[in-house]
Amino acid sequence: MLALPIRVRGMSTENKFFDESTQTILISQHGCMTRIKNLVELDSEVHVVSTKNDVAGTFSVVWVNTTDREGFYHLGLQLLQAEGDMWGIRFPATPSAEDESSAHAWLECTRCQRRHLASVPLSEMEFLGRGVLVARACDKCKATTPWAFAEEDQTTPATSLPEASHVAPLPPGVLLSAFEPVYETPSATSNSPERRRGPNDRGKGRAPIKLRIKIIRDIYGTAIEDVCDTINVSRNGACFLTSHNYYLGETVKAILPYEEGGVNLPVLGKVVRKDQPKGSIDHLVAVQMEQAVYLPGVEEPAAPAPVEKKRVEKRDRSRVPLKFPIKVIRQIQGKTVEDLGETINISRTGAYFQTPQSYDAGETVQVIMPYKPGDVAIPVPARVVRQDPMKGSVNHAVAIRMGETERSK
């Protein structure tokens, strides 16, 4: 438990950019707990700078208390990438599971009402409880969903609960990450026991179609490509057999359908399921896409896939390396053209994003950021200040400045 001065920047739930100076409450090698005045979305990214040594890092919001305390919202952050040693502290050796002081609490998926009994470190219990949402994978929803703390399950006899010694604690040293499931109960609205889905089960909207799929993984900074065949597909996901060993929650890029020499752009996705069929050395992997893709014969054409994400190096301090969907509306020869891209970094007055389209310096555009399909948002006028080539890519990196409608003179 240590209070270190930090600066937190990101997007609030009101889609407004914020920049706050605050302090840590708890820290570890893998994350921190803090409090800020702006409420942020669960599973979103924020940029944190340690003002003690001016080292910055990108963090994921793994839990957030939606109820403010004296005007502040507590949140748990998990480190994704840092420019160096943010805390300047030598942490003790990772304790064993037996040395971890923990308590047990029920978590409930807010989508399907499935419950899990989880182990929670005692040092965090003061901040976790009513109003707190935790991001963790749900096997039933096949996605990372918000989980809330629930009352002790009354439908299961106490004698059937696992002994405390058999309850798996949180992985040692991982502060405020997703809770490890140790006991499951059926949904409160279900009349039959919940069962694990097998390889032959099909979710709603899935079709048993064999298509070529290409998965691009980032393994310690190296791009690894995996080309295989799907077992079933939907507009937002795919299930396939592969010799590669994936892990749950892994972020990947998928091209579906994949044709060698094709021009399809990768779609960002997450591994939501992994099994090993009996008698096979291959792995059964399910990936959920962040944006729908067009699959002939399955459903209606989906929206264009987002452009490929690129990891960027150290940024200027005035810009925050956050990735958001962005929609740019252009006027080309009297016609309205929409461009869906993704930001590389943002600031209070502008954005830097990647796109396959080519822009002219001084061009006037309309911008919606962050862009969410179906939301009603008013475009903001902006002006293109420059366009840069992206090495090894057909995409361009475009810088825009918000609130300007006139071309530079």
Q: What is the structure's pLDDT at 3?
A: 87
Q: Tens of pLDDT along 81-117?
A: 888 889 888 877 655 444 445 556 778 888 888 887 7
Q: What is the structure's pLDDT at 316?
A: 46
Confidence of residue 404 (pLDDT cuts 50, 70, 90): low
Cα 51 to Cα 54: distance, rounded to the nearest angstrom? 5
Confidence of residue 65 (pLDDT cuts 50, 70, 90): confident
217 φ, ψ to 5°? -110, 150
Confidence of residue 206 (pLDDT cuts 50, 70, 90): low
Task: For residue 265, give the nearest of 234, 295, 230, 304 by alpha carbon.
Answer: 304
pLDDT above 50 for 171: no
**5-82 and 212-289 share one CATH topology?**
yes
pLDDT above 90 for 37: yes
Do residues 287 and 326 lie in contact, with contact meaning Cβ atoms separated by under 8 Å?
no
Task: For residue 302, give the nearest of 253, 256, 235, 375 by alpha carbon.
Answer: 235
Mean pLDDT, rounded, for 299-313: 46
Domain boundaries, the chain: 5-82, 103-185, 212-289, 325-402
The residue among 21 and 373 whose pLDDT is bigger is: 21
Judged by average pLDDT, the poorest of 66-70, 95-99, 162-166 is 162-166
pLDDT above 70 for 152: no
- Within 8 A by CB and 6+ apart from 293, the residues are 235, 236, 256, 267, 302, 305
For the chain, give the percent of residues with pLDDT over 70: 72
pLDDT above 90 for 49: yes
Q: What is the structure's pLDDT at 100?
A: 46
Q: What is the structure's pLDDT at 8?
A: 94
Do residues 119 and 168 lie in contact, with contact meaning Cβ atoms separated by under 8 Å?
yes
Judged by average pLDDT, the poorest of 190-204, 275-289, 307-321 is 190-204
DSSP-derived secondary structure for 118-139? EEEEHHHHTT-STTEEEEEEET
pLDDT above 70 for 359: yes
Q: What is the structure's pLDDT at 122?
A: 54
Q: What is the structure's pLDDT at 127?
A: 65
Confidence of residue 159 (pLDDT cuts 50, 70, 90): very low
DSSP-derived secondary structure for 307-357? PPP----PPPTTSB----EEEEEEEETTEEEEEEEEEEEE-SSEEEEEESS
pLDDT above 70 for 54: yes
Judged by average pLDDT, the poorest of 47-56, 168-177, 301-310, 383-392 is 168-177
Q: Are strands 212-219 and 222-234 parallel, antiparallel or unpaired?
A: antiparallel
The residue among 228 and 135 whose pLDDT is bigger is: 228
Cα 82 to Cα 134: distance, rounded to the nearest angstrom? 23
Do residues 351 and 367 lie in contact, with contact meaning Cβ atoms separated by under 8 Å?
yes
pLDDT above 80 for 294: no
Confidence of residue 182 (pLDDT cuts 50, 70, 90): very low
Do residues 112 and 142 lie in contact, with contact meaning Cβ atoms separated by under 8 Å?
no
Residue keyed to tokens 């008013």? 378
Report the b/e string of 243-265 with b at 16+ CB within 10 A: eeebeeebebbbbbbbeeeeeeb
DSSP-derived secondary structure for 207-262? B----EEEEEEEETTEEEEEEEEEEEEETTEEEEEESS---TT-EEEEESS--TT-
Q: What is the structure's pLDDT at 338?
A: 92
Confidence of residue 327 (pLDDT cuts 50, 70, 90): very high
pLDDT above 50 for 350: yes
pLDDT above 70 for 406: no
pLDDT above 50 for 48: yes
Cα 120 to Cα 132: distance, rounded to the nearest angstrom? 13
Strand partners, 367: 328, 380
Residue 280 tokens, joined: 């096979």
Q: Is 351 exposed, middle or buried (0-12, 13-18, 19+ CB in 10 A)?
A: buried
Match domain 212-289 to its CATH number in 2.40.10.220, 3.40.50.300, 3.40.980.10, 2.40.50.100: 2.40.10.220
Cα 75 to Cα 31: distance, rounded to the nearest angstrom? 11
184 sits in which H/E element: strand 184-185
Residue 96 tokens, joined: 């064993």
Match domain 5-82 to its CATH number in 3.40.630.30, 3.40.50.300, 2.40.10.220, 3.40.50.150: 2.40.10.220
pTM above 0.75, yes or no: no
Q: Is 11 exposed, middle or buried (0-12, 13-18, 19+ CB in 10 A)?
A: buried
Do residues 399 and 375 lie in contact, with contact meaning Cβ atoms separated by under 8 Å?
no
Q: What is the structure's pLDDT at 170?
A: 34
